[in-house]
């Protein structure tokens, strides 16, 4: 997959707003600290591979179950906001980058989805302990006593045993999910903090257009921040401090692609999507302050550096 380059991006004609002055030692400290974290992330990836998509391990069962339920509730709230309904009964749903388990899929099935399909480049789901699903089904039953948890368990067992199931999970290094599941097969696409890991995002937007039925919708949340644990809290835009040639030194599959909201918008528009909206979830007061100390490719106001995470929704005509 192609690695996206920004050094040669055409800069806007408008003069970017000037950031508030900060002590230079602040920027130099985080510039150097960020390089150390990038080096550690690459080393960890080489030694262990990609094993922790969440801020906690799948062995922390209670946290993992709560996370899956919360994410689905967030998606459905956003769907309610754009369509007036959160009803997914009979819908065929695709998730990109499901991470460590299929709990989200089971919860979507519990809410009436006809099927749940997921595609990833990392086979993390196969390492999920069985007791995770026991606790998940208990949590679903507590939320909705009318939920048919027996059929949910059977769907999971069928998938686990390689039998036809409403749960489908595909691991593809080429991330060709359209070939895996078939064109015009999905009614809804959900994704949580996965878009920022795709190297060739325009190709992903095109695949999504092909795999979705007419009228299908996408609801995705995108984490625009640096992903290393400590520095994301202290300097969330750290990955944008570096020229592309330097950032590329630390490349490994899944490293944040450094796309900004305007890049996602352009990719979806070019692919043919409409009703496109990108709104901030977590943000700072102003672009100028957030852009201070960033590489010049990201300092123009159109990059909206004060947006730290966003929700993206779109519809196929």
- Whether residue 92 has pLDDT greater than 90: yes
CB-based contact 158:165 (threshold 8 Å): yes
- pTM beyond 0.85, yes or no: yes
Question: CA 189, CA 82: separation in Å to the nearest integer?
Answer: 14
User: In the prediction, which pLDDT does 269 show?
Assistant: 98
Total domain count for the chain? 1
Q: Kindly indicate the confidence band of residue 46, based on its pLDDT and cuts at 50, 70 and 90.
A: confident
307 falls within a domain: yes
64 falls within a domain: yes
CB-based contact 35:235 (threshold 8 Å): no
- Whether residue 3 has pLDDT greater than 90: no
User: In the prediction, which pLDDT does 49 show?
Assistant: 67
Question: CA 95, CA 119: separation in Å to the nearest integer?
Answer: 7
Mean pLDDT over 202-215 rounds to 98
14 falls within a domain: no
Name the nearest CA neighbour of 125 among 100, 142, 150.
Answer: 100
Q: Which residues of 133-161 are buried (b: 16+ CB within 10 A; e: fewer)?
A: bebbbebbeeeeeebebeebeebbeebee
User: In the prediction, which pLDDT does 25 show?
Assistant: 74
Mean pLDDT over 106-111 rounds to 98
Residue numbers of the domain that contains 93: 52-224+260-315
35 falls within a domain: no
CATH of residue 166's domain is: 3.40.50.150
CB-based contact 82:156 (threshold 8 Å): no
234 falls within a domain: no
- Whether residue 7 has pLDDT greater than 70: no
Output phi, psi for 70, to 5 deg.
-65, -40
Q: Which run of H or of E encompasses 117?
A: strand 115-120
Q: Which run of H or of E encompasses 249?
A: helix 244-249
47 falls within a domain: no
How high does pLDDT run on average in the chain?
Answer: 91
230 falls within a domain: no
Mean pLDDT over 92-106 rounds to 96
Query: Any idea which of 139-143, 209-213, 251-255 has the lowest mean pLDDT?
Result: 251-255
In the chain, what percentage of residues exceed pLDDT 70? 91
Name the nearest CA neighbour of 91 among 115, 118, 119, 117.
Answer: 115
User: In the prediction, which pLDDT does 23 show?
Assistant: 54
Cα 221 to chain centroid distance, Å, stands at 6
Mean pLDDT over 160-189 rounds to 96
Mean pLDDT over 247-271 rounds to 97
């Amino acid at each position: 997959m192609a690695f996206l380059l920004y050094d040669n991006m055409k800069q806007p004609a408008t003069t970017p707003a000037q950031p508030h002055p900060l002590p230079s030692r602040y920027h130099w400290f985080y510039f150097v600290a960020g390089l150390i974290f990038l080096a550690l992330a690459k080393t960890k990836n080489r030694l262990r591979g990609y094993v922790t998509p969440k801020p906690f391990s799948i062995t922390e069962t209670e946290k993992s179950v709560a996370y899956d339920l919360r994410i689905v509730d967030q998606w459905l709230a956003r769907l309610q906001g754009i369509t007036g309904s959160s009803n997914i009964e009979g819908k065929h749903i695709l998730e990109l980058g499901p991470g460590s388990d299929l709990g989200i899929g089971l919860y979507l099935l519990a809410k009436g989805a006809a099927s749940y399909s997921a595609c990833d480049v990392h086979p993390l789901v196969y390492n999920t302990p069985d007791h995770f699903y026991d606790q998940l089904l208990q949590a679903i039953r507590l939320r909705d006593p009318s939920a048919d948890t027996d059929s949910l368990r059977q769907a999971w067992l069928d998938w686990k045993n390689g039998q036809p199931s409403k749960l489908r999970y595909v691991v593809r290094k080429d991330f060709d999910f359209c070939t895996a599941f078939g064109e015009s097969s999905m009614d809804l696409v959900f994704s949580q903090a996965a878009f920022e890991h795709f190297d060739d995002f325009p190709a992903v937007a095109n695949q999504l257009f092909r795999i979705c039925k007419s009228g299908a919708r996408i609801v995705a949340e995108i984490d625009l921040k640096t992903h290393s644990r400590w520095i994301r809290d202290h300097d969330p835009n750290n990955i944008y401090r570096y020229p592309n040639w330097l950032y590329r030194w630390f490349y490994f599959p899944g490293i944040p692609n450094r796309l900004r909201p305007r890049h996602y918008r352009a990719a979806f528009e070019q692919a043919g999507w409409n009703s496109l909206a990108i709104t901030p979830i977590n943000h700072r007061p102003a672009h100028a302050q957030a852009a201070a100390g960033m590489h010049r490719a990201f300092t123009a106001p159109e990059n909206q550096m004060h947006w730290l995470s966003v929700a993206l929704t779109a519809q196929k005509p």
